[in-house]
């Protein structure tokens, strides 16, 4: 059976990762960070980038040496065997029923802001979004990358326009002196802001689709990380400058509100369209990554329809399965009126566990300074797991349940 088509270049990879990291966070997190730590959040972004760098470098090195559609599950399998590989893969897939409906709801929320949609209208908008994801995914990773590169350019252009029209300059940025930094507030901001850098694990599933994965995958990952961090920092400057944050104001409304103040009410649709596209880009890369993981897991049973590729060497059957699961989960959330905030927290716990497993695998597979970086990244993941507290129990319980249940199934040889 043939493999996935290798068609991604460096610029496309940067666009994919940058939009994956920005996603819904670019409109909401700067305001949330400003709310909990004020001007200290300006220091929190560079500190967070420094802290995330060890994790990102480990992802980059593992993806360069061991590119696979299975992503982190593949790294874990190389380090600890097929049993834990399968558990890791299914742990990542367990995000589908809790994380994707929440992301869909956030994306279609911009339609609510523009057109006043509610209830069934939002549900139909979610299904329409899934249909667009299917259309993009059925055309290949290159199409997704081209679309998301355009989205990244639009986000940067929007922030640049706000800086220009708002007469912002480096000299006007309210950087606190180092000796005036409020450390507890800084840590509070970091706990909120880390979720902006969830997306590295999804990007890892696309490593095997780069034309030159050994050269371009790590470069795309690091440049995309820096680009996303810079955009988040610039957004935080804007939010602080215009005092566009408060406890009684929706965080996601901060940037659209600034756009209206600067350019008028007619410009609201521009902010909402870019916000929707940013959410769509993050949602798209996750769904495409889930499809590639399902395909790679199905390779253990070659006769399965999920293990088949289309004529264009795309896992379309696996993509259809993921989208069906997502649609059914969205229906359940709608019918049962489930709290989406809880879903997001549970999904975050799974992401931290996956990052931790990747770092532990890095400690086993890498040598020298990269092994040390993996150990540092692992310590950071453990700290974040503690910060999430009892809400991380969902991820831990899922890991334990999968460990005991999955090995009972008889697996065919690949």
pLDDT by residue (tens digit) across 231-266?
999 999 999 888 888 776 666 678 888 898 999 888
Q: Does 346 or 209 have the greater pLDDT score?
A: 209
Weakest-pLDDT range from 179-188, 228-237, 340-349: 340-349
Q: Is the pLDDT of residue 411 over 50?
A: no
Cα–Cα distance, 356 to 98 (Å, whole number) = 20
Q: Is the pLDDT of residue 200 over 70?
A: yes
| Residues 299/151, Cβ–Cβ less than 8 Å | no
Cα–Cα distance, 143 to 195 (Å, whole number) = 26
Residues 6+ apart with CB under 8 A from 75: 62, 66, 204, 358, 361, 362, 365
Q: In this predicted structure, what is the pLDDT of residue 79?
A: 94
pLDDT tens digits for range 13-60: 888 888 888 876 788 888 888 888 888 888 888 888 888 888 889 988
- All structural domains of the chain: 10-408 (1.20.1740.10)
Mean pLDDT of the chain: 84
Q: In this predicted structure, what is the pLDDT of residue 80?
A: 93
Q: Is the pLDDT of residue 324 over 60?
A: yes
| Angle formed at CA 367 by CA 363 and CA 373, multiple of 5 degrees | 55
Q: In this predicted structure, what is the pLDDT of residue 414?
A: 37
Which three-class secondary structure state does DSSP give residue 414?
coil
Residues 6+ apart with CB under 8 A from 408: none
Q: In this predicted structure, what is the pLDDT of residue 3?
A: 65
| Residues 302/1, Cβ–Cβ less than 8 Å | yes
Nearest to 18 by CA among 266, 244, 203: 203
pTM: 0.80
Q: In this predicted structure, what is the pLDDT of residue 134?
A: 92
If one counts every other C-beta atom within 10 angstroms of the C-beta of residue 182, the result is 15
Q: Is the pLDDT of residue 73 over 60?
A: yes
């Amino acid at each position: 059976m043939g493999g996935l088509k290798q068609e991604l270049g460096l610029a496309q990879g940067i666009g994919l990762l940058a939009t994956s990291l920005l996603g819904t966070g670019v409109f909401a997190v700067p305001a949330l960070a400003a709310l909990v730590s004020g001007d200290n959040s300006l220091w929190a972004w560079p500190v967070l980038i420094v802290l995330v760098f060890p994790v990102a470098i480990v992802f980059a090195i593992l993806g360069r040496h061991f590119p696979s559609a299975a992503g982190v599950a593949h790294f874990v399998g190389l380090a600890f065997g097929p049993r834990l590989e399968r558990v890791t893969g299914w742990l990542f897939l367990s995000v589908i029923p809790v994380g994707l409906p929440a992301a869909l709801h956030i994306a279609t929320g911009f339609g609510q802001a523009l057109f006043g949609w509610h209830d069934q209208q939002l549900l139909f908008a979610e299904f329409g979004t899934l249909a667009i994801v299917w259309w993009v995914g059925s055309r290949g990773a290159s199409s997704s990358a081209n679309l998301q590169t355009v989205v990244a350019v639009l986000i940067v252009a929007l922030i640049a326009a706000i800086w220009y029209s708002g007469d912002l300059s480096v000299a006007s940025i309210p950087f606190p002196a180092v000796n005036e930094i409020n450390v507890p507030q800084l840590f509070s901001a970091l706990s909120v802001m880390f979720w902006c850098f969830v997306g590295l694990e999804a990007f890892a599933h696309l490593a095997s689709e780069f034309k030159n994965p050994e050269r371009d995958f790590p470069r795309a990952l690091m440049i995309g990380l820096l680009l996303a961090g810079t955009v988040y920092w610039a957004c935080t400057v804007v939010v602080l400058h215009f005092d566009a944050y408060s406890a009684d104001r929706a965080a996601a409304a901060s940037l659209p509100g600034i756009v209206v103040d600067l350019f008028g009410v007619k410009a609201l649709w521009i902010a909402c369209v870019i916000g929707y596209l940013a959410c769509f880009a993050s949602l798209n890369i996750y769904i495409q990554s889930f499809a590639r993981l399902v395909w790679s897991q199905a390779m253990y049973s070659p006769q399965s329809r999920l293990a088949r590729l289309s004529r264009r060497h795309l896992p379309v059957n696996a993509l259809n399965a993921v989208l069906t699961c997502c649609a059914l989960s969205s229906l359940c959330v709608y019918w049962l009126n489930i709290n989406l905030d809880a879903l997001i927290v549970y999904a975050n716990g799974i992401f931290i566990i996956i990052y931790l497993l990747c770092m532990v695998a890095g400690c086993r597979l890498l040598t020298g300074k990269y092994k040390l970086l993996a150990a540092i990244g692992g310590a950071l993941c453990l700290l974040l797991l503690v910060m999430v507290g009892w809400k991380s129990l969902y991820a831990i319980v899922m890991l334990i349940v999968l460990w005991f249940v999955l090995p009972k199934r008889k697996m065919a040889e690949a």
